[in-house]
Amino acid sequence: MGNQVAREDFEWVYTDQPHADRRKEILSKYPEIKSLMGPDHRLKWIVCMMLGIQFLAFYLVKDLEWKWVLFWTYAFGSCINHSMTLAIHEISHNTAFGNNKAMWNRYFAMFANLPIGLPYSASFKRYHLDHHRYLGGDGIDVDIPTEFEGWFFCTRFRKFIWIILQPLFYAIRPLCINPKPITQLEVINTACQLAFNVLLYWLWGSKPVVYMLAGSMLGMGLHPISGHFIAEHYMFLKGHETYSYYGSLNLLTFNVGYHNEHHDFPSIPGRRLPLVKKIAPEYYDDLPQYTSWVKVLYDFIMDDTLSPYSRIKRKLKGDVKQE
């Protein structure tokens, strides 16, 4: 568990990300893919159903013994809350109400944020669009670990701890890499979330609050679904910076596993991404792919050639327009 990884720096490249060129090529060959773009009108009803399930869970756990609160927090609440973060990911691409109702999407994301307990939907939108536009961009893409993460989490045991602490690093990384001024939407997001948390405590006590917050932290840490954090862009094979996952957990995660397809066509809702692969299989079938996020986590920890440094980075050229 003390073996040290071989990497001492990120994988620096001097080429553009592959997704824009592949998008143009696919659209030229299969223009019908444009018909897949636009809002997914079922998304808002799925999100409302998930919120209803979590609100019911808040009520049910209030009278449980603590051991059962913790059990259901990891076994159930963590899955729902992680799934809800990926619903917010979907909404950040305006797939709930469409581009013409951008603010409706912003406020609906805040609504979806409530059972997570941590106000992040407004900030996520700003940074996530930069991630798509400037994938791997030095000083811009906050999905890339910091130098400290790459330097310190360099053994199997430390990588294990790093995965457990993923929610913490995703929270503080923007402040270290690319801090931005606070916006009015972020203030509203925070105020609404704090008010909800206080109301939940006032109504049903501390157990639902622990269920909510711990479920979010555990679900984004050492959890099967959190394998997507590593699977999406960590360089398991040299030269490949985006990977797709085609396993069953896509059913709980709005098809976020179809990650090459998503970066090629971010305006296509997750529900329709399998159709992209079906229409243009020759562009995706031969790319590296996964069928198990659990195996991704295991391989990342046990493979001494992999670490937080296993990411492709690039220096950006020209004007950089951030959200």
pLDDT digits (tens, 9 = 90+) for 186-228: 999 999 999 999 999 999 999 999 999 999 999 999 999 999 9
Q: What is the distance, to the nearest Å, from the Cα of residue 66 to the centroid of all Cα atoms in its chain? A: 30
Question: Rounded to 5 degrees, what angle do the CA atoms 271, 107, 36 make?
Answer: 25
C-alpha to C-alpha distances, 320 to 53, 146, 173, 182, nearest whole angstrom: 42, 20, 19, 19
pLDDT digits (tens, 9 = 90+) for 86-130: 999 999 999 999 999 999 999 999 999 999 999 999 999 999 999
Tell me the pTM: 0.95
pLDDT of residue 2: 59
For residues 145 and 309, is the Cβ–Cβ distance under 8 A?
yes
pLDDT of residue 319: 73
CA distance 114 to 70: 20
C-alpha to C-alpha distances, 258 to 166, 230, 231, nearest whole angstrom: 21, 14, 11
Query: Which burial class, exposed, middle or buried, applies to 233 when counting CB atoms under 10 A from its CB (0-12, 13-18, 19+)?
Result: buried
Stretches where the chain sits below pLDDT 50 are none
pLDDT of residue 137: 96
CA distance 275 to 107: 29
Contacts of 12 (CB under 8 A, 6+ apart): 312, 313, 314, 315
In the chain, where are the structural domains located?
11-314
